[in-house]
Structure 1
Amino acid sequence: MSTGTVAKPSAAPKGTGRRKLTWPWILLIVAAGLVLFSLVRVVSGADDLTSVGQVSGALRLAVPIGLAGLGGLWAERAGVVNIGLEGMMILGTWFGAWAGYQWGPWVGVLFGLLGGALGGLLHAIITVTFNVNHIVSGVAINILAAGFTMYLSNFTFGEAEGGSSKQSPRIDPITDITIPGLSEWLADLQQKHWFLISDVAGILGGLVTNLSLLTVVAILLVPATWWVLWRTAFGLRLRSCGENPVAAESLGVNVYKYKYIAVTMSGALAGLGGAFLAIVATGIYQEGQTGGRGYIGLAAMIFGNWMPGGMALGAGLFGFTDSLKIRGGAENVHALLLLVAILLVLAAAWQLYKKKYVPAVIAAVFAVGFFLWYALTDQVPSQFVDAAPYITTLLVLALSAQRLRMPKADGLPYRKGQGK
Structure 2
Amino acid sequence: MSTATDITLAPSLGATAGPKLDWRRGLIITGGLFLLLCLVRTLTGADDITSGGQISAAITLAIPVGLAGLGGLWAERAGVVNIGLEGMMILGTWSGAYFCLAFNSPWAALVGGVVGGALGGLVHAIATVTFGVDHIISGVAINIIGQGVARYLAVIAFTGKGGGATQSPPVPGFDTIGIPGMTGLLRPIESKHWFLISDLAGLLRGVTTGLSWLTIIAILMVPLTFLVLWRTSFGLRLRSCGENPIAAETLGVNVYRMKYAAVIVSGGMAGMAGAFLVTVASSIYREGQTGGRGYIGLAAMIFGNWRPGGLAAGATLFGFTDALQSRQNSSVHALLFFVALLVVLLSAWNLWRRRWLQGGIGLFIAVLLVVWFFLSTTVPQELITYTPHITTLLVLSLAAQRLRMPAADGVIYRRGQGG
**Mapped pair 1:124 → 2:125:** yes
Q: Distance in 1 between matches of 2:350 and 2:83?
A: 34
Q: Which amino acid aligns with 2:374?
A: A
C-alpha separation between the residues in 2 aligned to 1:151 and 1:358? Answer: 50
* Contact preservation (8 Å) 1:79, 1:241: yes
Q: CA deviation at 1:296?
A: 0.6
Contact 1:87 1:142 in 2 (8 A): yes
The two structures, once aligned, show a CA RMSD in angstroms of 1.7
The 1:348/1:166 distance shift into structure 2, 3 A limit, reads closer
Hey, what's the Cα distance between the residues in 2 that align with 1:55 and 1:150?
34
8 Å Cα contact 2:347/2:359 also seen in 1? yes
TM-score, normalized by length of structure 2?
0.93
Q: Give the alignment of 1:373-392 within 5 angstroms.
A: 373-392=372-391
Alpha-carbon offset, residue 352 of structure 1:
4.0
1:41-86 deviation per Cα after TM superposition (whole angstroms, max 9, x unaligned): 1111110001111110110111111111111000000000000000
- 8 Å Cα contact 2:176-2:213 kept in structure 1: yes
CA displacement, residues 287-331 of structure 1 (integer Å, 9 cap, x when unaligned)? 110000000111111111111111111111111111111222x32
Give the letter aligned to residue 300 of structure 1. Answer: A
- For 2:137, the aligned partner's letter is V
Match status 1:297 vs 2:301: no
Q: Is contact 2:346–2:398 with CA below 8 Å preserved after alignment?
A: no
Distance 2:357 2:145 in 1: 46
**3-state DSSP class of the match of 1:325?**
helix
Equivalent residue runs for 1:249-398 within 5 Å: 249-328=249-328, 330-398=329-397
Residue of structure 2 equivalent to 1:150: 151
**8 Å CA contact 2:223, 2:308 repeated in 1:** yes
After superposition, residues 129-278 of structure 1 pair within 5 angstroms as: 129-160=130-161, 162-278=162-278
Q: Hey, what does 2:3 align to over in structure 1?
A: none
Matched residue SS, 2:214? helix
Q: Structure 1 residues 393 and 363 mapped into 2: Cα distance closer, same or farther (>3 Å)?
A: closer
Q: Distance in 1 between matches of 2:357 and 2:137?
A: 38
TM-score (norm 1): 0.92
Letter in 2 for 1:240: S
- Structure 2, unpaired ranges of 5+: 1-14
Q: 1:67 to 1:361 in 2, by over 3 A?
A: closer
Aligned to 1:8: none
Provide the C-alpha distance between the structure 2 equivalents of 1:198 and 1:48, rounded to a whole number of angstroms.
11
Q: Distance in 2 between matches of 1:16 and 1:110?
A: 36
Structure 1 residues 370 and 242: CA distance shift in structure 2, 3 A: same
| Residue of structure 1 in register with 2:97 after alignment | 97
CA contact (8 A) 1:302 1:397 kept: no
Amino acid at match of 2:141: A
Q: Per the alignment, do residues 23 and 155 of structure 1 end up closer, same or farther by CA in structure 2, a change over 3 Å counting?
A: closer
1:346 shift after superposition: 2.2
How far residue 191 of structure 1 moved from its aligned partner, in angstroms, is 1.7
Q: What's the CA shift string for 1:135-158, capped at 9, x where partnerless?
A: 000000000000111111112211
Report deviation, 1:354. 3.7
Name the CA shift for 1:19/1:146 in 2 (closer, same or farther; >3 Å). Answer: closer
Letter in 1 for 2:397: A
Q: Secondary structure at the match of 1:335?
A: helix
Range with greater deviation from structure 2 (381-390 or 264-273): 381-390
After superposition, the C-alpha distances for 1:181-210 in whole angstroms (9 at most, x for unaligned) are: 123212222221110111111111111111
**Counterpart in 2 of 1:12?**
none
One-letter amino acid of the structure 2 residue matched with residue 346 of structure 1: L
Paired with 2:313 and 2:34, the residues of 1 have a C-alpha distance of: 14
Deviates more, 1:333-342 or 1:344-353: 344-353
User: CA separation of 1:201/1:259 partners in 2, compared to 1, >3 Å: closer, same or farther?
Assistant: same
Cα pair 2:182 2:209 within 8 Å, conserved: no
* Number of matched pairs: 404
Larger Rg: 1
